[in-house]
Structure 1
Amino acid sequence: MRVDLDADYIVVGAGSAGAALAARLSEDPSLSVLLLEAGEPDKAMELHVPAAFSKLFRGSYDWNYDTVPQPNLEGRTIFWPRGKTLGGSSSLNAMMWVRGFAADYDEWAQTAGDAWSWESLLPFFRAVERTQDPVDDTQGADGPQSVEHQRDPRPHTAVFLRAVAEAGFPVTAPNLASGQGFSQTMVSQHRGGRASTADAYLRPARGRKNLRVVTGAHVRKVTFGPSTGSGTVGAGSGTVGAGSGTGGSGSGTGPRATGVYVDIDGITRHATARHEVILAGGAINTPQLLMLSGIGPAEHLAEHGIPVVVDAPEVGANLQDHLVAGLAPNAKGGTLYGAEKPAQLVKYLTQRKGMLTSNVAEAYGFVRTSVAEGRGEPEGLPDIEIIFAPVPYVGEGLVPTPAEGLTVGAILLRPVSRGSIRLASADPLDKPVIDPAYLSDEEGMDAAALTAGLLACERIIATAAFDEIRAPGWVQPDDGDSLTPEERAELSMRRYSHTLYHPAGTVRMGMDAAAPVDPELRVRGVEGLRVADASVMPTVIRGHTNAPSIVIGEVAASLLRG
């Protein structure tokens, strides 16, 4: 049956932001919304069982990306899983609900205006959550997203938090606006099962006639027609035409987005938007699609024979990601190593309890290292997050759990290094070139901070409390007992580190004319085109990107609905 591809709004990407945006827009029955998702429906059981998320890596629900070789990580390529299904990466991630610090969003406000401050965004966070706000203990507005305490954490997690306190770090409530210490992780779950944005937003909206969700729809490029000089546009085809510069507000400054070319069932079709096209493909796919559509660095586009619509040098630049390096001591038993036993599956299916409800990263906390001041970190803010898992998370999650073990890892929160997303070719089906440029800053500040973070992990592992759950020896690094703490840190950072799955910043928003997107998420130099996903973040937050990505989708819907 032929799918109707004409709508008021086209949203490209049904991930954390896109699903929230499309569902919120469709609450207005006068608007029609077409949501295009390259992946298939989220039917696999592993998408819904929390502890099974790494089994989805390299599979059909994963974009299956890899970086270019990283010189500062022993020349390794780093695996970057990204969700390719309804819910996007919210269907693949570790479900950690970590807002970040108020200062992170106030920094956005300095770049992109007061609408992006903590005070302005807090109501959106509360609307998304179904839990009490830990700052003022008042109930947030009911929203579609389930955010819960863990249903059945491993006993090791409580011991870890006692070890943290013994090591001199504060244990606090989660998601504080400031002063956040260590906490048991709040999770995006409902009754022990994953609550992706497909679960929380799209399923409640599926009965609306004005929302059409098309899966298996790979968007090739945005199409453009003549500027209308107004806020609306009629349906039509149109092709990419000559464009204008990077300045302006994003309205009335160039050609207008009329829709997208999209492959469905092997046929390229033109989906048309009467009002606007919103890209929500994430920090990798959105800059790729913009460049394929002629919006990006002119010289780079010319290399691939792509006509320039807007010369936007910062599209694909400013890539930031959280690098994590983990230490994995042996454990005495009872860890998630036993999660695949038949009894655990029965317990999950009958009670929604047991090891399979675990999000794996069951606790986390923030520390300010001795190198923070030299890196220019503002007073009172952390530069490292420490994460705990009651299992040895090794081999980038791509190998079976090797033994009873634990993971205590350090995460570089605010990298000085900046990477990029670039096209490999003009073929929309070719994977983009991903270079996060990990630990590449000339002063070596990133490596110094991550090393200091790993030494803080060593302090926790060395406590008497932690001895209650660890066994002699190491799962990782190899032969760890023969190394000093400094040597273990260096080896873990260079040989075993990997992404924490938080790419951001590649189509940053800002009030300055060089920012590809303005504070209302409009792409500069054209009309009728916006971006709503982690790519617009000017800086990556001191936290996890899923929560703010959903909020960006909520904000985008609010902007479009006026």
Structure 2
Amino acid sequence: MSGRSAAARVDEADYIVVGAGSAGAALAARLTEDPDVTVLLLEAGAPDTALELHVPAAFSKLFRGPFDWNYDTVPQPALEDRTVYWPRGKTLGGSSSLNAMMWVRGFAADYDEWADAAGPAWSWEALVPYFRRVERTEDPADPTQGAAGAQPIEHQRDPRPQTAAFLDAAREAGHRVTAANLPAGQGFSRTMVSQHRGSRSSTADAYLRPANGRPNLRVVTGALVRRVTFEAGPDDPAVPRATGVYLEIDGITRHARARREVILCGGAVNTPQLLLLSGIGPAEHLGERGIRIVAHSPEVGEGLRDHLVAGLAPAARGGTLYAAEKPAELANYLLRRRGMLTSNVAEAYGFVRTAVADRIGMAADLPDIEIIFASAPYVGEGLVPLPAEGLTVGAILLRPRSRGTIRLASTDPRDKPLIDPGYLSDADGIDAETLRAGLAACEELIDTDAMRTVTTGGWIQPAGGEHMTPVERAELAMRRYSHTLYHPVGTARMGTDSSSVVDPALRVRGVSGLRVADASVMPNLIRGHTNAPAIVIGEVAADLLRGRSSSR
């Protein structure tokens, strides 16, 4: 699908949706099912026409490229003062066009926590119909999984043999191997992927392409939104109403008007940045930047949470994705959509509960660590070529206590915001303790008979790891090599309380005519991956705007 660019007529629509990513694409497509509703969908990036956007194993080739916002955090004191690279999708489909395609919904209990914060409409029971509406799952394993939705969720076409060895290792270590995406009791699984017949299926593929011919949907790419515009509210002049946005196309600034509402779908980084640029946020921070205050909202840009992953990379005997770029593999992919290039790299995962969870009183039967497996040594934050035949077994901190912020570096929307996730900064050190326990679980898996059939005993990361103790390897993995798992949330959280940025209907508090629908509204970080619930949020937002429920 090619987005309409600078030549497109940009003036007004019923709804303006800012950001064509996981939530925004779903929202725009659903709203325009009503032929009497017009939608202007604005995307800062280019159309998603490049081949590498659609070849699954090529996702890391997109990093630092033209389809990436190319963010970095501020230095992280707990990670040896390193900055951490944060890729974010800048194209149609957003980060669903850039991610590793893992479809991991999380646990029912995670969404019931959403309901505790934002009301019963966000409970697992209330959201199941939306998950079913989203998903077109190959061989559903549970009644909550959809089989006829918009988004293909399929088995991997050609998983590596090392992935089977890893799942055997999980059994050997006493873990349960289960089907993927169970609402409770989830163990270790082969990853289900957002692919169709061996190619990536982003929300541009699943939602925008089927809607492409609708005359009531205008998709404009290369459109950088500078700020939301407001005027005095018609019912209460003290409550400003969003009237549209200023956007920049090819260096020219113009105004687009929303007859009904503006919906921000820029994600956990770009949405708070745009709210702040528009005068909605902490008054002190806005004043420091000389921005006129439209609504004092202290939590905009606060509450940032992200999944931190620390990986161990043992050397492997051969047959890993190290060989994925050979000419024969490229031919196999282009001709048959088979072979190594169909891999999403992270081909298996599993959930474990450490002793730390018991000690701190985490709810029973819920994990605090996800173990991720890749048939490749995923080193250098994915920014360097694979160095050798190797594997990755990593620990993901599922429920970080640490909190971070998004702040403006300047009032220029082209300047990258200041991203501080505050990794491992919790005062009591529980995050680091939990991640160490997770890395111990990784070591246990690597040290099984099943894994020894595919490993050599050497180490790629940490280098020289065979001469270290497991404790030494874990500390290096956590402090020197850990990185984001690309799941930032919570920077414009929803809630029933007056201090939340948006209410349970996703309306921005303190103004009217403005909503947020993306991962920034998530009130807590799920024990899973965030693409699936972000799409669900887009679906819920469409029903909220249409005044409909999930039963349809």
Unaligned 5+ runs, structure 1: 231-242, 245-253
Matches within 5 A, 1:186-201: 186-201=192-207
Q: Is the counterpart of residue 227 in structure 1 residue 212 in structure 2?
A: no
Distance 2:153 2:260 in 1: 33
Work out whether 1:58 is the aligned partner of 2:64.
yes
Deviation readout 1:18-37 (Å, 9 max, x if unpaired): 00000010111010000000
Match of 1:263 in 2: 248
Q: Could you give the per-residue CA deviations for residues 79-124 of structure 1, whole angstroms, max 9, x where no partner exists?
A: 0000000000000000000010000000000010000000010111
Asked whether 1:437 is paired with 2:443, we answer no
Residue 409 of structure 1 corresponds to 394
Which one of the candidate residues 146, 169, 178 is aligned to 2:175?
169
Cα deviation 1:465-509 (Å, max 9, x = unaligned): 111111121000011011111111011000000000000000000
> Counterpart of 2:120?
114
> Which residue is equivalent to 1:98?
104
Aligned to 2:293: 308
Amino acid at match of 2:445: I
Q: Calculate the aligned-residue CA RMSD, in Å.
A: 1.2
Conserved in 2, the CA contact under 8 Å of 1:132 and 1:139?
no
State the Cα distance separating 1:128 from its structure 2 match: 1.0
Per the normalisation by structure 1, the TM-score is: 0.95
Aligned to 1:388: 373
Q: Which residue of structure 2 aligns with residue 182 of structure 1?
A: 188
Aligned position for 1:501: 486
Give yes or no for contact 1:134–1:174 (8 Å, CA) kept in 2: no
The correspondence for 2:19, drawn from 3, 10, 13, is 13
**How big is the shift at 1:350?**
1.0
Does the Cα contact within 8 Å between 2:492 and 2:520 map onto a contact in 1? yes
Counterpart residue number, 1:480? 465
Using the TM superposition, give the Cα deviation of residue 141 of structure 1 relative to its aligned residue in structure 2, in angstroms: 5.2
Instruction: Give 1:131 deviation, angstroms.
Output: 1.5
1:374 corresponds to which residue?
359
Choose the corresponding residue for 2:220, options 199, 203, 214: 214
Letter in 1 for 2:508: V
Q: Which amino acid aligns with 1:418?
A: R
Displacement of 1:229 after TM fit? 2.5
Give the whole-Å Cα distance in 2 for the aligned partners of 1:128 and 1:90: 14
- Alignment partner, residue 70 of structure 1: 76
Distance 1:462 1:509, change over 3 A: same
Aligned pair partner of 2:149 in 130, 143, 158: 143
Paired with 1:115 and 1:219, the residues of 2 have a C-alpha distance of: 31
SS at match of 2:104: coil
Partner of 1:331: 316
CA contact (8 A) 1:135 1:177 kept: no
Assess, with a 3 A threshold, how the Cα gap between structure 1 residues 224 and 414 changes in structure 2: closer, same or farther. Answer: same
Alignment of 1:80-91 (within 5 A): 80-91=86-97
Matches within 5 A, 1:291-370: 291-370=276-355
1:513 and 2:498 are equivalent in the alignment: yes
Does structure 1 retain, via aligned residues, the 8 Å contact 2:138–2:153?
no
Equivalent pair of 2:8/2:220 in contact (CA under 8 Å): no
The correspondence for 1:423, drawn from 383, 404, 408, is 408
Report deviation, 1:137.
4.7
Could you say if the C-alpha distance between residues 314 and 138 of structure 1 is closer, same or farther in structure 2, counting changes exceeding 3 Å? closer
Secondary structure of the structure 2 residue equivalent to 1:555: helix
CA contact under 8 A between 1:361 and 1:387: conserved in structure 2? yes
3-state SS of the aligned residue for 2:359?
Answer: coil
Structure 1 counterpart of 2:489, one-letter code? A
The answer to whether the 8 Å contact 2:131/2:145 transfers is no
Match of 1:554 among 539, 545, 551: 539
CA contact (8 A) 1:133 1:140 kept: no
- SS in structure 1 at match of 2:388: coil
Preserved CA contact (<8 Å) 2:132 2:144: no
Match of 2:48 among 42, 45, 56: 42
Tell me if 1:33 matches 2:18.
Answer: no
Match of 2:4 in 1: none
Q: How far is the alpha carbon of 1:5 from its aligned partner?
A: 2.3
Note if contact 1:132-1:138 (Cα within 8 Å) is conserved in structure 2.
no
- Is the counterpart of residue 525 in structure 1 residue 510 in structure 2? yes
Mapped to 2, the partners of 1:515 and 1:522 lie a distance apart of 10
Moved over 6 A (4+): none
Shift of residue 135, structure 1, vs aligned partner: 5.6
**Cα distance in 2, alignment partners of residues 138 and 276 from structure 1:** 32
Aligned equivalents of 2:138, 2:52: Cα separation in 1: 29
Partner of 1:18, secondary structure, is helix
What is the CA–CA distance in structure 2 between the aligned matches of 1:148 and 1:2, rounded to whole Å?
Answer: 36
The CA distance in 2 between the partners of 1:275 and 1:262, in whole Å, is: 18
Contact 2:14 2:38 survives alignment (8 Å): yes
CA deviation after TM superposition for structure 1 residue 375, in Å = 3.4
Q: Secondary structure at the match of 1:283?
A: helix
Q: Normalised by the size of structure 2, how large is the TM-score?
A: 0.97
What amino acid maps onto 1:284 in structure 2? V
Task: Quote the Cα distance in structure 2 between the aligned partners of 1:140 and 1:379.
Answer: 27
Q: Distance in 1 between matches of 2:307 and 2:23?
A: 19
* Residue 376 of structure 1: how far off its partner (Å): 3.5
Q: 1:419 to 1:375 in 2, by over 3 A?
A: farther
Tell me which residue corresponds to 1:286.
271
Equivalent residues of 2:22, 2:538 under 8 A apart: yes
Could you tell me whether the CA contact under 8 Å between 1:132 and 1:140 is conserved in 2?
no
1:297-323 Cα offsets, whole Å, 9 max, x none, are 000000000000111010000000000
Contact 2:12–2:257 (8 Å) recurs in 1: yes
